[in-house]
């Protein structure tokens, strides 16, 4: 392939946001190259547990955008077939009765933010999740949470992109943006070759500032590593997506302090790790579970402490899990901007440069953001207003 030829658009980063951007631009008739250092889905988009999770989104723009993303996600099976999308609902379960008051406060706050959540007792919980452990006494339930196999969705996006004439360039590391004057004219690869383009979309996740920084467009963020593990097909199935009481330390209800919340003994193994107690069944019956996390870490490998926490607590939440083998353990690194919202911005100060990055919840927002960026590049009014996602919000 002659990489000296030009494209209408080059998209840098083949995660869910980049792949969706490339697909929708290709569908609009643009000649598009999708470039990735490794291969499509190598980063967080190929490593996440597939939760379309709404319960921890802040009121206002984060919640409104997340609800729009959730609505958009429900339309994708009609385009891409079965990728494990399930409108499953979601639970935040708790074992310690001390968390009952926390759950009440959480429900009040989430309802005020626009979610139809409810605090359910163990009897109602067993109807939704019969294999829940005997220590679990209650839960918060949100019927709008969902689940998908993002790896399959991303694969379908890339297949459709290539089938429509798009070009995947991988493995190929983009070393720099080709900026001349006030215009971005393409990218330079690490091997010294150039790809010319009328528009460059940076969708490179935690590596975005390697390209944006030299142009004075660095975006403030911290990396966050999330760990997970998987079993083979299990003899039981978990219907809703499930998080546990440790999640309340990740999203603390107003007027409460996480310091007052009881800790599991296993969480003392490595106190700098956070935890969300996530678990879900995939379409083939296998189970993915985690998720210990560490803010500030770019290590994309699972740790002994993180896996110990997950195994210990999840075996209490779902005792039947204890007998299953672990067939895979992994970690992925996501980007958390100061407000946890992505940057979707075509007004970068450089003609031809668009940013679609900073996705902390890319599993939920990536495909929708790709469609919005495609609309913007096409000169159309985006179907969801993107003014609140400008990088300029961090200028102060």
Residue 261 has pLDDT above 50, yes or no: yes
Read off the pLDDT of each residue in 44-50 and give the average, rounded to a whole number. 91
Read off the pLDDT of each residue in 24-50 and give the average, rounded to a whole number. 96
C-alpha dist (Å) from residue 72 to 40, 266, 295, 370, 383: 22, 38, 29, 11, 11
Residue 134 lies in a domain: yes
Distance in angstroms (rounded) separating the CA atoms of residues 50 and 150: 6
Containing 101, the helix (H) or strand (E) segment is helix 99-113
User: C-alpha 382: how far from its chain's center?
Assistant: 21
Quick: pLDDT tens for 133-189.
999 999 999 999 999 999 999 999 999 999 999 999 999 999 999 999 999 999 999
Residues 208 and 107 in one domain: no
pLDDT at position 1 is 44
Number of domains in the chain: 2
C-alpha dist (Å) from residue 383 to 25, 65, 174, 370: 15, 12, 30, 12
Residues 195 and 243 in one domain: no
Confidence of residue 4 (pLDDT cuts 50, 70, 90): low
The number of C-alpha atoms within 13 Å of 44 and in the hemisphere containing its C-beta is 29
Read off the pLDDT of each residue in 195-223 and give the average, rounded to a whole number. 97
Confidence of residue 370 (pLDDT cuts 50, 70, 90): very high
Residue 238 lies in a domain: yes
Q: Read off the CATH number of the domain in which 161 is found.
A: 3.50.50.60
Residues 345 and 385 in one domain: yes
- DSSP string covering 125-187: HHHH-TT--TT--EEEEETT-EE--HHHHHHHHHHHHHHTT-EEE-S--EEEEEEETTEEEEE
Read off the pLDDT of each residue in 280-291 and give the average, rounded to a whole number. 95
Quick: pLDDT tens for 351-368.
999 999 999 999 999 999
pLDDT at position 396 is 64
pTM attached to this predicted model: 0.96
Residue 52 lies in a domain: no
Residues 185 and 259 in one domain: no
Please give the residue range of the domain that contains residue 299: 90-143+222-336
């Amino acid at each position: 392939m002659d990489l000296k030829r030009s494209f209408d658009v080059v998209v840098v980063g083949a995660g869910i946001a980049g792949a969706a951007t490339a697909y929708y631009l290709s569908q609009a008739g643009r000649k598009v190259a999708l470039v990735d250092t490794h291969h499509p889905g190598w980063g967080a988009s190929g490593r996440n547990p597939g939760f379309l999770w709404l319960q921890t989104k802040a009121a206002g723009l984060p919640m409104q955008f997340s609800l729009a993303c959730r609505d958009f996600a429900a339309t994708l099976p009609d385009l891409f077939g079965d990728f494990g999308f399930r409108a499953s609902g979601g639970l935040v379960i708790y074992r310690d009765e001390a968390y009952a008051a926390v759950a009440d406060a959480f429900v009040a706050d989430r309802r005020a933010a626009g979610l139809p959540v409810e605090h359910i007792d163990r009897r109602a919980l067993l109807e939704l999740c019969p294999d829940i452990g005997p220590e679990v006494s209650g839960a918060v339930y949100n019927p709008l949470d969902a689940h998908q196999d993002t790896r399959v969705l991303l694969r379908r996006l890339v297949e459709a992109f290539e089938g429509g004439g798009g070009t995947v360039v991988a493995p190929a590391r983009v070393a720099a943006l080709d900026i001349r004057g006030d215009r971005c004219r393409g990218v330079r690869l690490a091997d010294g070759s150039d790809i010319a383009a009328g528009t460059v979309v940076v969708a490179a996740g935690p590596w975005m500032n390697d390209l944006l920084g030299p142009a004075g467009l660095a975006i403030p963020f911290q990396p966050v590593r999330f760990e997970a593990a998987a079993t083979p097909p299990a003899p039981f199935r978990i219907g809703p997506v499930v998080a546990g009481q440790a999640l309340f330390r990740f999203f603390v209800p107003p007027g409460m302090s996480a310091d007052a919340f009881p800790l599991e003994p296993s969480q003392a193994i490595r106190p700098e790790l956070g935890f969300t107690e996530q678990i879900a069944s995939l379409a083939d019956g296998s189970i993915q579970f985690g998720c210990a996390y560490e803010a500030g870490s770019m290590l994309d490998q699972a740790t002994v402490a993180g896996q110990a926490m997950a195994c210990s607590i999840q075996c209490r939440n779902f005792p039947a899990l204890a007998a299953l083998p672990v067939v895979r353990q992994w970690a992925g690194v996501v980007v958390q901007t100061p407000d946890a919202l992505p940057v979707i911005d075509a007004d970068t100060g450089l003609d031809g440069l668009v940013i679609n990055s900073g996705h902390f919840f890319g599993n939920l927002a990536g495909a929708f953001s790709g469609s919005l960026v495609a609309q913007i590049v096409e000169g159309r009014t985006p179907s969801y207003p993107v003014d609140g996602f400008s990088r300029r919000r961090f200028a102060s």
